[in-house]
Structure 1
Amino acid sequence: MNMTKMANNSEIKREWIVLDAKDQTFGRLITQIAIILRGKHKPSFTPHVDCGDFVVVINADKVKFSGAKLDNKQYFTHSGYFGSTKSQVLNEMLEKSPEKLFRLAVRGMLPKTKLARTIIKKLKVYAGEEHPHTAQVKK
């Protein structure tokens, strides 16, 4: 009888994937990033093991949004104290820190466990064209 093979941390081979966010739809790009980080694109996917790849996103500030989301969508933060709710419009957040926007969106698509905290560390987001991971660029 054939048994399903479960992957171990020692057996996993991680790759570095560079994604260009220029003129791509934000939601579809975030979904693709979450799948790669989690490792669901690999045949050896195991839910309780971190088997995903590293993802480097460049041109994060040139991502595209559909509809009127840039002016209408708001993100809220709350420190826990009364009356401390703050909001930011998507357009402000994209100009100020696109890295935070990408990290927040991807984190929402990952499982809410300790495993997700290790997975999100493999996401590297840069607003411009350059990134310090030049050794990982395939030629």
Structure 2
Amino acid sequence: MSDTHATKKSEQRYNWHFINADNKVLGRLSADICVLLTGKNKVNYVPYLNMGDKVVVYNVKKIAVTGTKELHKMYYSHSGTVGNLRTKNLSQIREHNSKRIILEAVTGMLPKNRLRNDRLANLYLYEDEKHPHQGQEKGATNE
């Protein structure tokens, strides 16, 4: 009878994934990114280790949303002082900092545990097609 194999930190291997966000729907793309960041697509996945891959998302500025979310989806920030709740809709965020759109969507979909920040560190967002990870594209998967 064989024993169950427990994956160790030294056995971790990660791949690079390059995703073009041009005309991709925000929610579906964010869900796919979360699967890659958590490593749930791997055979040796364990929930207590950061098994995820590196994910580079470019053309973030051109991401698509359905329905009337461009005007009605709101993003909130609060300084902690009474009366300082700031609200911006998605089109205002797209003009100012379009990376925040995907970052908040992916952050909300990842598990709320100690590995969350480590997984988010493996996510690289770029507003256009230029990015400094050209060397990793040779053996990577482009989606």
Please state whether the residue corresponding to 1:114 is helix, strand or coil: coil
Match of 2:124 in 1: 124
Match of 1:42 in 2: 42
Match of 2:20 in 1: 20
- Structure 2 gap ranges (5+): none
2-structure distance, mates of 1:6, 1:83: 51
TM-score (norm 2): 0.92
Query: Alpha-carbon deviation of 1:138?
Result: 2.2
Query: Alpha-carbon deviation of 1:6?
Result: 2.2
Query: Alpha-carbon deviation of 1:4?
Result: 3.1
- Structure 1 gap ranges (5+): none
2-structure distance, mates of 1:38, 1:93: 26
Structure 1 stretch displaced more, 65-74 or 76-85 = 76-85
Query: Alpha-carbon deviation of 1:69?
Result: 0.3
Q: Matches of residues 1-139 of structure 1 in structure 2 within 5 Å?
A: 1-138=1-138
CA RMSD between the two structures? 1.2
TM-score (norm 1): 0.95
Query: Alpha-carbon deviation of 1:5?
Result: 2.2
2-structure distance, mates of 1:54, 1:128: 18
Identity of aligned residues (%): 35
Query: Alpha-carbon deviation of 1:3?
Result: 3.6
The structure with higher relative contact order (CA 8 Å, sep 6+) is: 2
